[in-house]
Structure 1
Amino acid sequence: MHIRQVLRRKGSEVATVAASADIRTALALLAEHGVGALVVSGDGRAVEGIVSERDVVRALHERGAALLTDPVSSVMTADVHTCVPDSGVEELARTMTDRRVRHVPVVDGGVLVGIVSIGDVVKFRLDQLEEERAQLVDYIQTP
């Protein structure tokens, strides 16, 4: 199974924020979209970084509330692990676990086409296992 199939089920909408936007704006976007991370992109196509709720919380602990007026670039992760639509779901799950990342932007030809969270990967895998179980039950019960 490929990430392309995960995106087909969940959709390809990606919440983005400009690197120059302040942290307060990023927090508003996180809440508005109900997501745990934003892809940092000036044009919605190129991945410049990623900023997560965890990044903001850690920076708030270190720098205090004055952080809210700082630019997103001051807390974002610039070295972003990405994947392509043809990446394997199991491979990406392993990578996410090993690298301790919860969100991975999906790029195709250098263009942002989606984002996958660890929750998306787990849900996809659980749905897949349920389908396999149902097929086995049908096979066993067929006379």
Structure 2
Amino acid sequence: MRISEVIAAKANHETITITPDASVRDLVALLGEHNIGAAVVSSDGTTVSGIVSERDVVRHLVGNDALLGARVSEIMTTQVSTCGPADSLDEVRATMTEGRFRHLPVVDDGHLVGVISIGDVVKSHIDQVEFERDQLDSYVHQT
């Protein structure tokens, strides 16, 4: 299965981004509003400048009561691993597991086209395994 298929199967195709100069308070509101765990940081909505997650907020919040007024650029990850629409689900699963990433931006020809979460990867894998099980079950019971 390819990442493009995983993106196509998602109920919501909207890719949520935030600008680097937005406040962490704005980020928290955005994550809550869209019920997501991370947002791609982008100045123009199509290029990836970074990624910022709820984990980043929590890590930086300890001992820093002023964090909500800080800029997203102060807490975002700038070395961002990405994947492409043609990448296989297995490749992305390995990348996410090895890097301990929960979210990967999907980039096609330098442009952001989506975000894959570990939940998307697991759901797609389960769907694939269930389909194979059903096919085998059907084959076994045909006789």
- Give the TM-score category using the shorter length: over 0.9
Aligned residue identity for 1:20: D
Which residue in the other structure is 2:124 paired with?
124
Aligned length: 142
2:97 aligned residue: 97
- Does residue 48 of structure 1 match 2:45? no
The residue identity in structure 2 corresponding to 1:8 is A
Partner of 2:81: 81
- Unaligned 5+ runs, structure 2: none
Question: Scaled by the length of structure 2, what TM-score is found?
Answer: 0.97
Letter in 2 for 1:120: D
In the alignment, is residue 36 of structure 1 matched against residue 54 of structure 2?
no
Question: C-alpha separation between the residues in 1 aligned to 2:86 and 2:31?
Answer: 27
- String of CA shifts for 1:84-140, please: whole Å, max 9, x gaps: 000110111011010111100001010000000111000000000000000001101
CA distance in 1, matches of 2:5, 2:114: 12
SS of structure 2 residue aligned to 1:90: helix
In structure 1, what is the Cα distance between the partners aligned to 2:132 and 2:100?
Answer: 29
Note the C-alpha offset of 1:31: 0.2
Structure having the higher helix fraction is 1
Instruction: Tell me by how many angstroms 1:12 deviates.
Output: 3.0
Query: What is the deviation of 1:42?
Result: 1.6
**Alignment of 1:70 onto 2:70:** yes
Percent of aligned pairs with the same amino acid: 51
Partner of 2:28: 27
For residue 19 of structure 1, give the secondary structure of its aligned residue in structure 2: coil
SS, match of residue 83 in structure 1: coil
Deviation beyond 3 Å, 4+ runs, structure 1: none
Asked if 1:115 corresponds to 2:91, the answer is no
Match of 1:106 in 2: 106
